């Protein structure tokens, strides 16, 4: 009997890439709806099909879903973050949870730099002005990116790429990450700082941190108050790291002149209060996306599933430590 791979959802037109790889390995692919279904609906799909592997994009893979698959051997994320997967439940059963950690490094860092350039050059503001019939170049209050200090909150793969690109403009670079040593920071061309110190000294703050219990609302009212008045906040990581209400308040008061957000804690719903702020620049969680990155993501995630179901070790297990702890 063929082992089943459940693809819970997908953020692209079809499942052709995943299906070709899975079926070429002699496995059966069952796809859920393209738009992520509820956790209860995913649990129902798991109970029905009893998959040996779950591939998930945005859909919630709950502890109940993991418990409903007695032969489950892997939960693979089509992405980087694991906040939609009950990792502890998988670890308790020694089931590896995997991701594709580096497929969109260039895209997300490009998006962050693009937001910074859009702000310093007034691209969004002046596009809106011209479309409204106003042609007033004397109103320009633009800045040279290379003269600014940019603070990176989190300093993993993507943040390092952002630092490399901003460094080419001549920016002064600060970074905050609990795992960043002074030596590693110096080698990467950044200054390691505490979060408060980074916020106080930065013209642009870019969030590149993962979402965990410790980073939920890491950037809220108190943190935004530390920033230089009139600065820019960029979030290309996870929405819930930034308190949206605090951002709206900072924009309304002028503490922030702009906030560039690819992610929101309420997505896909966008608060009306945020949309009402002229300094808000929003994109619909697309920083990861390009023709090249999506093809790489889909191929590598499906290949990881095939590798594990064929008896191999996963290339990118994210919960080895938890699995070892559960086995002791």
**Smallest Cα–Cα separation from 323: which of 144, 132, 75, 34?**
75
282 φ/ψ angles, rounded to the nearest 5 degrees: -125, 135
Residue 233 near residue 227 (C-beta atoms within 8 A): yes
DSSP 269: S
Residues 6 or more apart whose Cβ sits within 8 Å of residue 107: 287, 288, 289, 290, 293
Q: How far apart, in whole angstroms, are the C-alpha atoms of residue 29 and residue 54?
A: 10
DSSP 248: H
Which token pair is 60? 């919630």
Sign of the four-CA dihedral 133, 137, 141, 142:
positive
User: Which residue out of 172, 238, 298, 300 is catalytically annotated?
Assistant: 238
Sign of the four-CA dihedral 180, 183, 189, 192:
positive
Quick check: is 285 catalytic? yes
User: Which residue out of 267, 299, 303, 307 is catalytically annotated?
Assistant: 267
Quick check: is 267 catalytic? yes
SS3 label, residue 258? strand
Quick check: is 111 catalytic? no
User: Which residue out of 77, 285, 298, 300 is catalytically annotated?
Assistant: 285
Q: Would you name the residues annotated as active-site residues?
A: 238, 267, 285
């Amino acid at each position: 009997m063929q082992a089943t791979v459940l693809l819970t959802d997908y953020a692209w037109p079809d499942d052709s890439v995943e299906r070709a790889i899975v079926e070429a390995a002699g496995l059966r692919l069952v796809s859920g709806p393209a738009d992520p279904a509820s956790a209860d609906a995913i649990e129902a799909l798991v109970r029905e099909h009893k998959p040996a592997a779950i591939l998930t994009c945005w859909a919630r893979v709950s502890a109940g879903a993991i418990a409903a698959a007695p032969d489950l051997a892997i939960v693979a994320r089509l992405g980087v973050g694991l906040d939609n997967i009950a990792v502890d439940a998988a670890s308790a059963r020694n089931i590896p949870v995997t991701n594709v950690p580096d497929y969109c490094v260039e895209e997300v860092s490009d998006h962050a730099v693009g937001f910074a350039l859009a702000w310093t050059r007034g691209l969004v503001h002046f596009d809106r002005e011209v479309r409204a019939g106003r042609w007033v170049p004397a109103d320009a209050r633009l800045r040279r990116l290379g003269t600014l200090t940019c603070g990176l909150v989190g300093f993993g793969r993507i943040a390092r790429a952002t630092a490399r690109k901003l460094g080419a403009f001549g920016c002064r670079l600060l970074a905050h990450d609990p795992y960043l040593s002074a030596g590693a920071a110096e080698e990467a061309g950044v200054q390691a700082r505490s979060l408060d110190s980074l916020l106080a000294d930065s013209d642009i703050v870019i969030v590149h941190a993962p979402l965990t219990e410790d980073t939920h609302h890491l950037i809220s009212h108190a943190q935004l108050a530390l920033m230089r008045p009139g600065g820019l906040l960029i979030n290309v990581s996870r929405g819930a790291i930034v308190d949206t209400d605090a951002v709206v308040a900072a924009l309304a008061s002028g503490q922030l002149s702009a906030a560039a957000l690819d992610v929101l804690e309420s997505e896909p719903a966008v608060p009306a209060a945020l949309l009402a702020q002229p300094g808000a620049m929003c994109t619909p969680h697309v920083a990861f996306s390009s023709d090249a990155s999506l093809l790489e993501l889909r191929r590598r995630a499906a290949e990881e599933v095939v590798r594990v179901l064929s008896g191999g070790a996963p290339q990118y297990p994210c919960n080895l430590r938890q699995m070892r702890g559960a086995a002791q």
